[in-house]
Amino acid sequence: MTKNRASSEKPDHLVLVGFMGAGKTTVGRVLAALTGREFVDLDHSIEEKAKTSIKNIFAVQGEEYFRVLESEALEAMLKRTHCVVATGGGIVGRAKNWEVMRRLGAVIYLENDWETIVSRIADCPDRPLVTGKDLENVRALFAQRQPLYEQADLRVAVKNQKPSEVALSIVEMLSREKHRA
Ligand code: S3P
């Protein structure tokens, strides 16, 4: 269990953003172990609270409703401290989510190239924005979101790197940032 936050304590989370299939969950777990934080997968928190799958939420209530649940799950992280938070790829689309993410802690963009992403997500039946969609549309979404991801505090290339290597790079970057501050 994570601690609930005392009013004076900063959340001090590490928030991972990036497109579907970028590796947020795998890297997030390793990063959490490395930094002594709890790992939170926001999509998983949404599913637990809604007691149904994201696929089902998209199918029954639609994407806009999902986005409301997503923003609520993100805001709920303000009450907790010291987690690594893996977000869903679309969290970057709402300006309000950015305000919350900045209050949560360091926002880290896991950057991966389209070819690697597509090889990971193309056959996934659980991603409503991919399943049954023309990959060209998904590619357009990928391109459209790049400038949004680039608003993150840190950016780390994931291509051809093991999750442990990516997590270590993040720890090193954070420690450099700390010394610079
Ligand atoms: C989405 C990404 C998914 C999930 C939902 C919408 C998106 O999470 O939140 O299907 O808009 O890119 P992952 O990035 O973990 O696949």
Per-residue model confidence as pLDDT tens digits over 70-92: 999 999 999 999 999 999 999 99
Question: In whole angstroms, what is the distance from residue 46 CA to residue 43 CA?
Answer: 5
pLDDT at 6: 64
In the predicted model, is pLDDT for residue 65 greater than 70? yes
Contact 11, 75 (CB under 8 A): no
Ligand 1 center to 19 CA (angstroms): 8
Cβ–ligand 1 distance for 88 under 6 Å, the answer yes
Per-residue model confidence as pLDDT tens digits over 11-57: 899 999 999 999 999 999 999 999 999 999 999 999 999 999 999 99
In the predicted model, is pLDDT for residue 169 greater than 70? yes
In the predicted model, is pLDDT for residue 8 greater than 90? no
Cβ–ligand 1 distance for 89 under 6 Å, the answer yes
Residues 6 or more apart whose CB falls under 8 angstroms from that of 118 comprise 21, 135, 138, 139
pLDDT at 177: 83
pLDDT at 77: 98
The domains located in the chain, with CATH, are: 13-175 (3.40.50.300)
pLDDT band of residue 134 (cuts 50, 70, 90) is confident
Pocket test for ligand 1, best of 16, 129, 131 (most atoms within 8 A of CB): 129
Kindly state the helix (H) or strand (E) to which residue 154 belongs, with its residue range. Answer: strand 154-157
Per-residue model confidence as pLDDT tens digits over 88-117: 999 999 999 999 999 999 999 999 999 999
DSSP, res 2 = P
DSSP per-residue codes, 28-69: HHHHHHHHT-EEEEHHHHHHHHHTS-HHHHHHHT-HHHHHHH
DSSP per-residue codes, 84-105: EEEPPTTGGG-HHHHHHHHHHE
In the predicted model, is pLDDT for residue 152 greater than 60? yes
